[in-house]
């Protein structure tokens, strides 16, 4: 008997969660580990959001909700998309999901037939490939590097399109590079998607975490009605409101597809947690000052980290305008080390210096590592002392 389905045989555990677990394990065993692996803000969820969740519990909001989410939250998302992104939706075009991750999962499940191709720019967020493969689709990876600011070019995109191409994925600001596409770049990508009749999947989960005004992100859906009608906007509360554990995300797009996503949810998760939905409602409708405060702290840390990387022999990086990661190029450091690739280098860094980073292989590159600066400045200072010690003792 084959104990497992064919579908899951290629499934790999999320490397970012794995490295976080490994760092926690070492910490629990008494090691002084600094974790730069986790993709989550280190701040607690803002107080007014916690209060809203408590109130929801006290008022008995502890039952099943519609699979698409509570009407008030869907309306709040409609209002957010109008206010912040210049996008017009009605609630039937919104599905609330168990994090953006679940939204993407459902979307691939309802859009893809066996063999359908989805174009994924590399470096990519770890879950895209597994999610596409689980839906029996085929990820088509477009490689980018520092020379092109880790962004795909229109020429590259057009050359990758085949008869089987169904969708193009854009993640701006990007995890792991922090890069943001300009409206002009998105316009060109959108035109190609119109020309070849492709869906656009726009993962905007880091939209509020951008530190340089000139890079303010725009949603590709807002640029042109022809883009709007073929775009799914993915977003959520995890990163903006430091609510990773609450698991609330959403997808906005054409109502017929959104409806099928609701049906899929109705047979799997039923609905996102009722209490978390009320918390997310408070996040979207309440004061936005806590977001500004978190953003200011992230900016200070980003600047510190980028400066330190430039000071360390063998490491280099672009300054990421957004998200809370730096994708560090370790090619030179590798050349001077006994290690062959970013996996070996990261493992040695964890073992020798107790600093956890995510190897670039998780995002498609063997000569990068990703660090998350969503941790205190004191920890970052200590981590970079250790990284400097590690690289200078490799030769």
Q: Is position 99 an interface residue for ligand PLP (rule: CB under 6 A)?
A: yes
Q: Is position 236 an interface residue for ligand PLP (rule: CB under 6 A)?
A: yes
Closest CA to 106 of 264, 213, 255: 264
Mask of contacts with ligand PLP, 152-191, x by CB under 6 A? -------------------x---x----------------
Which of 3-29 are b and which e, b meaning 16 or more Cβ less than 10 Å from the residue's Cβ? eeeeeeeeeeebbbeebbebbeebeee
Q: Considering only the stretches 41-49, 97-105, 113-121, 141-149, report the one whose residues sit in contact with ligand PLP under the rule CB under 6 A.
A: 97-105
The answer to whether residues 236 and 250 touch, using CB atoms and an 8 Å cutoff, is yes
Q: Is position 302 an interface residue for ligand PLP (rule: CB under 6 A)?
A: no
Q: Is position 203 an interface residue for ligand PLP (rule: CB under 6 A)?
A: yes
User: d(Cα 356, Cα 25) in Å, to the nearest integer?
Assistant: 12
State which of positions 101-130 bind ligand PLP (CB under 6 A). Answer: 101, 125
Of the residues 249, 253, 321, 359, which one makes contact with ligand PLP according to CB under 6 A: 249
User: d(Cα 205, Cα 223) in Å, to the nearest integer?
Assistant: 18
Considering CB under 6 A, how many residues would be counted as binding ligand PLP? 13
Residue whose CB is less far from ligand PLP, 175 or 274: 175
Alpha-carbon dihedral sign for residues 333, 337, 343, 346:
negative
State which of positions 29-58 bind ligand PLP (CB under 6 A). Answer: 39
Q: Is position 320 an interface residue for ligand PLP (rule: CB under 6 A)?
A: no
Q: Considering only the stretches 133-141, 236-244, 310-318, 346-354, report the one whose residues sit in contact with ligand PLP under the rule CB under 6 A.
A: 236-244
The answer to whether residues 45 and 248 touch, using CB atoms and an 8 Å cutoff, is no
Residue whose CB is less far from ligand PLP, 89 or 363: 363
Residue, CB closest to ligand PLP: 99
Least distance from ligand PLP to the Cβ atom of residue 249, Å: 4
Given the DSSP bridges, would you call strands 325-329 and 368-372 parallel, antiparallel or unpaired?
Answer: antiparallel
Residues near ligand PLP (CB under 6 A): 39, 99-101, 125, 171, 175, 203, 205, 236, 238, 244, 249
């Amino acid at each position: 008997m084959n104990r497992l389905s064919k579908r899951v045989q290629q499934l790999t555990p999320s490397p970012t969660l794995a490295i976080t677990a490994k760092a926690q394990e070492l910490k629990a065993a008494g090691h002084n580990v600094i974790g730069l692996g986790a993709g989550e803000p280190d701040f607690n969820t803002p107080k007014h959001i916690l209060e809203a969740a408590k109130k929801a519990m006290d008022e008995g909001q502890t039952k099943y909700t519609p699979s698409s989410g509570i009407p008030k939250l869907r309306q709040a998302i409609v209002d957010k998309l109008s206010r912040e992104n210049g996008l017009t939706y009605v609630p039937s075009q919104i599905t609330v999901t168990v994090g953006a991750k679940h939204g993407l999962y459902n979307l691939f499940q309802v859009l893809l037939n066996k063999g359908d191709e989805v174009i994924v720019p590399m470096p990519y967020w770890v879950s895209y490939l597994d999610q596409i493969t689980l839906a029996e689709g085929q990820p088509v990876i477009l490689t980018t590097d520092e020379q092109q600011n880790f962004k795909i070019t229109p020429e590259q995109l057009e050359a990758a399109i085949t008869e089987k191409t169904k969708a193009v994925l854009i993640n701006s600001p990007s995890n792991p590079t922090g890069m943001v596409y300009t409206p002009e770049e998105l316009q060109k990508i959108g035109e190609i998607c119109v020309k070849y009749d492709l869906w656009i999947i726009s993962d905007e989960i880091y939209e509020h975490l951008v530190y340089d005004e000139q890079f303010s992100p725009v949603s590709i859906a807002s640029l042109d009605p022809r883009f709007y009608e073929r775009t799914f906007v993915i977003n959520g509360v995890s990163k903006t409101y430091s609510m990773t554990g609450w698991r609330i995300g959403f997808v906005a797009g054409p109502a017929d597809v959104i409806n099928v996503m609701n049906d899929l949810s109705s047979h799997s998760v039923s609905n996102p947690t009722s209490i978390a939905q009320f918390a997310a409602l408070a996040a979207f409708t309440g004061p936005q000052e806590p977001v500004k405060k978190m953003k200011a702290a992230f900016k200070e840390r980003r600047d510190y980290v980028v400066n330190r990387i430039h000071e360390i022999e063998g490491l280099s990086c672009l300054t990421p305008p957004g998200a809370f990661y730096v994708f560090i190029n370790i090619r030179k450091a590798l050349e001077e080390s006994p290690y062959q690739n970013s996996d070996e280098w990261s493992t040695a860094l964890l073992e020798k210096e107790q600093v956890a980073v995510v190897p670039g292989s998780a995002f498609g590159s063997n000569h990068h590592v990703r660090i998350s600066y969503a941790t205190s400045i004191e920890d970052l200072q200590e981590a970079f002392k250790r990284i400097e010690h590690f690289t200078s003792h490799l030769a």
